[in-house]
Structure 1
Amino acid sequence: MKTIAIVTFCFDRERELVRCIKSVQAQQDAPPFVHYVFSERVEALKDTPDVAKRETLVNWVSITNPYNGEHSSPRMAKLRQAALEIIQEPYVCFLDDDNEILPNHLISLFNLIEAQQLDAVYSWRLLVYPDGSPFAGDYYPWNPNKNFAESLYRWCVKNELIRPGDSIVYDGPRNSDDPHNVATVDMNEWLFRTDSLRRLGFNPEFTEEELANQVGEDDKLLEKILRSDFRFECTQKATIRYYLGGVSNARANIN
């Protein structure tokens, strides 16, 4: 069976988790999938009334998280690697508990990875604020330093990752040696062949400079991919609804 493992980590965002689960269940024409939720608080999550209504839609995995006090990037790299060693499905993707996938997400990724026999495929993402209103494409939301974020925004506009007035982020690598090159593929956007991702693995080692500049485990992974013979393409569809305000910053939070 060409089954997809959808891996979500959740600690205490029950309301967002319900929204996430509902988006997975709304997939149209999708191949078989299993939605895993990894948590240190499985029983507490399932005791929440809205989560309890959907308890049987998810495969729950109880974990002990020894990385809880670490910066989010190395912590998530270690958690993703641990999950990768547990799942058995031939395809895997990751969906953060505060994000959603649109109804055509899985089928558009799966059709492309199968048609071209690729190691991985990715989509674009539709940015929204916590209230669901669309991002205006008018700033760079992933660095808390205002001046540095403005320079990164200019680079993103020049290289058409961000387009003023457009809520889509057109992710994907860009051929540029500019130190402001922040092109990446968000972890939520990928669909991998599980064996292909295992061969690469996640890199949990980050310098202090990387942590200060909000380098993520997805950035590290893309570096590995670009240095290997990994075969990947983009669906050129925005099928992730990505909520600002997690690791990313709403405009009001940028100093």
Structure 2
Amino acid sequence: MLVTVVTLTRNRPRLLARALRSVQRQDLDTPFRHLVVIDDCHETYAYLRSHEPLPGNVRWLLAGRGPDDVSGPGRSARLRNMAVRASRAQWIGFLDDDNEWEPDHLGSLLECAGRTGHRAVHSHLRMLDADGTPYLEPREPWARDPAEGRAQWARMRAKGVVSPGSCVRRDRLDPPGTDDPVVSVDTGEWLLARDLLLDVPFRDVYDAHDEAESIGEDDKLAMDLRDRAEPVSCTGKATLRYYLGGYSNNFSLPFDPTFSWRDAGDASDQKREAVR
């Protein structure tokens, strides 16, 4: 098997169905597998069981939770690392359950990897509101403060990442030594060699600073790849359809009743320190 696509999912079977269709529409001659990791959600488990038989290249597993497990970047990182270890494919791609890929996503990434010889390649994305309309507001949606979001967007415009009137985001990973670097690649944009992910797994510990700055597992992976000067190439194609509304950019509604940027044990320690 050349490629494994990993999708983490919890409590969103309708969105998962869209992601499943997106992966099956990939225009790819080489074999690939879609591994769906269900994060302790029996509703999604029942949904997949009711729709069997699924396409032959789809596999799924139900990951249970312990008493201290919560939703958040730490949990997602651990599940992603588990899926990487379970795969035997040369390449790993990640599609979140609320996003989609264009049909040429995997094919263009594999072509880029073959042409460059790099173990880390990525695409660009189109940013969309939850209803599918293009996101055109001149503000970074991951900033809690609107003024800070506008300032960040202006910086990204100056860097050539975003443009007025366009929902395309030209993410990139500037090499070490770059002044004021851009270090921004979403998980769904990457295609990564499995052996690279075994050497540089997703980090699963997050602290108050990470929470304040909305630093997730994709941000830390990009930082780690950059710190080790891993060669990176981009297709230049916006083949990820990124829908807003997930935990990193929805600050008005709870993403999940169990959600926490830090693990339950970390939060308990913080409360004990506050009491002292």
- What letter matches 2:97 in structure 1? D
- Where structure 2 has 5 or more consecutive residues not aligned to the other structure, the ranges are 254-276
Output the CA distance in 2 between the equivalents of 1:103 and 1:64: 32
**3-state SS in 2 of match to 1:59:** strand
Supply the RMSD in Å over aligned alpha carbons: 2.4
Output the CA distance in 1 between the equivalents of 2:205 and 2:23: 31
Q: 1:171-186 alignment to 2 at 5 Å?
A: 171-174=171-174, 177-178=179-180, 183-186=183-186
**3-state SS in 1 of match to 2:183:** coil
Asked if the contact 1:42/1:60 (under 8 Å) is kept, the reply is no
Asked if the contact 1:46/1:52 (under 8 Å) is kept, the reply is no
**Equivalent position of 2:6 in the other structure:** 7
Asked if the contact 2:139/2:149 (under 8 Å) is kept, the reply is yes
**Equivalent position of 1:31 in the other structure:** 30
Runs of 4+ deviating beyond 6 Å: 250-253
The one-character-per-residue Cα deviations of 1:90-119 (angstroms, maximum 9, x if unpaired) are 110111000001000010001111122211
Aligned-residue offset at 1:237 = 0.3
**Equivalent position of 2:103 in the other structure:** 103
Output the CA distance in 2 between the equivalents of 1:235 and 1:168: 14
**Equivalent position of 1:45 in the other structure:** 44
Q: 1:38-187 alignment to 2 at 5 Å?
A: 38-41=37-40, 44-48=43-47, 52=51, 55-57=54-56, 58-66=58-66, 68-69=69-70, 72-174=72-174, 177-178=179-180, 183-187=183-187
Output the CA distance in 1 between the equivalents of 2:20 and 2:243: 15
**3-state SS in 1 of match to 2:123:** strand
* Greater Cα radius of gyration, structure 1 or 2: 2
**Equivalent position of 1:197 in the other structure:** 197
Output the CA distance in 1 between the equivalents of 2:131 and 2:50: 20
**3-state SS in 2 of match to 1:112:** helix
Aligned-residue offset at 1:42 = 6.4
Output the CA distance in 1 between the equivalents of 2:252 and 2:235: 32
- What letter matches 2:147 in structure 1? N
**Equivalent position of 2:274 in the other structure:** none
1:100–1:54 Cα change, 3 Å: farther
1:212–1:205 Cα change, 3 Å: same
The one-character-per-residue Cα deviations of 1:164-209 (angstroms, maximum 9, x if unpaired) are 111111101246554xx66311000000110112111111232311
Task: Give the TM-score normalised by structure 1.
Answer: 0.88
Aligned-residue offset at 1:53 = 5.8
**3-state SS in 2 of match to 1:113:** helix
Aligned-residue offset at 1:4 = 0.5
- Where structure 1 has 5 or more consecutive residues not aligned to the other structure, the ranges are none
**1:21 is aligned to 2:31:** no
When structure 1 is superposed on structure 2, of 117-126 and 140-149 the one drifting more is 140-149
**3-state SS in 2 of match to 1:60:** strand
Output the CA distance in 1 between the equivalents of 2:250 and 2:160: 21
1:220–1:160 Cα change, 3 Å: same
- What letter matches 1:119 in structure 2? R
When structure 1 is superposed on structure 2, of 51-60 and 162-171 the one drifting more is 51-60
**1:238 is aligned to 2:238:** yes
When structure 1 is superposed on structure 2, of 91-100 and 241-250 the one drifting more is 241-250
**Equivalent position of 1:222 in the other structure:** 222
**3-state SS in 1 of match to 2:215:** coil
1:54–1:236 Cα change, 3 Å: farther
- What letter matches 2:238 in structure 1? A
**3-state SS in 1 of match to 2:203:** coil
1:18–1:154 Cα change, 3 Å: same
Asked if the contact 2:183/2:222 (under 8 Å) is kept, the reply is no
1:41–1:134 Cα change, 3 Å: same
Output the CA distance in 2 between the equivalents of 1:73 and 1:133: 27
Aligned-residue offset at 1:35 = 0.3
**3-state SS in 2 of match to 1:163:** coil
**3-state SS in 1 of match to 2:223:** helix
